[in-house]
Amino acid sequence: MRPLPRETTLHLEVRDLSSSKTQTMRARRPAPSSTEAKRRYHHGDLRAALIAEALSIAATEGIEKVSVREVARRAGVSPGAPFRHFADKTALMTAVAEEAMDRFRAEIDAALAKADADDPIAGFRAVGRAFLSWAMRNPTHFAIISSRQAIDFPGSQRLVNQNTAIQELVDHLLQKALSAGRLRSGDTRLVQLAGRALVYGLARMFTDGHFESWHVPATEVETRMEAVLDLVVESLAKPPSDATTNPNPRPRSRRRP
């Protein structure tokens, strides 16, 4: 796996799809340095320092290069010190993933706060844009959560709970849209799966560097990703005017296995 760009921010910023977007991109911050991690440790926060070092190594050298021993060395502690907090590399990387999921959820909440609360389609689109924003500014976090190879996802109740909560949030938006006659399909789970597949695929294209081969200049990647998202959302949703004249699609019954 090729090294990913260094993490771009420590604090969540929700980008407006307006002229402020460029300014947000310029305001990126580097991932925590070894010096910063050691400073946190010397103030007594070893766990946070270890997580920061693991993230830094994954960003610059690849997830497979992370080891508990190397994390300890960069944090300036003994090889055995990390084991007071993490049983092994998997436990350490799972902690990184938990932090990533927390940031992702905060990004979603901030995006929804700016969306029209009376328009569930706008909320659905806002969640998708929050996913793309988070993945672009935190590519290593995205890679760690997405691969599932370096972490114990099902073993982390924190990850499972956050993931379930996000799915339920999106389902609530789609059920609201369905009730208002705003969906073309009556299968909200299928619509949610389509949306997830779209933003995940776009984020992977970004982190894997595919847009260049599709002749998309680096300066246009963000706007193209958002345009694709808008295109698909528009194909899944009905305009408000159509919703008032056309009957709601009937929800599809679940097939039993």
Is residue 238 domain-shared with residue 141, that is, in the same domain?
yes
Q: Give the pLDDT confidence of 138-151 residue by residue, as tens digits.
A: 999 999 998 888 99
How many domains does the chain divide into? 2
Residue 44 confidence (pLDDT):
64
**CATH code (residue 82):** 1.10.10
Confidence (pTM): 0.76
Tokens of 65: 């290069």
Is residue 138 domain-shared with residue 240, that is, in the same domain?
yes
Instruction: Give the integer Cα–Cα distance in Å for 240 and 9.
Output: 37
For 199, the domain range is 88-245
Q: Do you know the residue count of the chain?
A: 257
Is residue 45 domain-shared with residue 161, that is, in the same domain?
no
Q: Three-state SS for 253?
A: coil
Residue 247 confidence (pLDDT):
53
Q: Three-state SS for 44?
A: coil
Residue closest to 185 by CA, chosen among 255, 94, 250: 250
Tokens of 199: 């933003």
Tokens of 213: 């081969």
Query: Mean per-residue pLDDT for 218-225?
Result: 97
Residue closest to 226 by CA, chosen among 199, 207, 191: 199
- Determine how many CB atoms are found less than 10 A away from the CB of residue 52: 27
Residues 136, 155, 110, 129, Cα dihedral to 10°: 40
Strand partners, 237: 183
Is residue 149 domain-shared with residue 235, that is, in the same domain?
yes
Q: Give the pLDDT confidence of 73-127 residue by residue, as tens digits.
A: 999 999 999 999 999 999 999 999 999 999 999 999 999 999 999 999 999 999 9
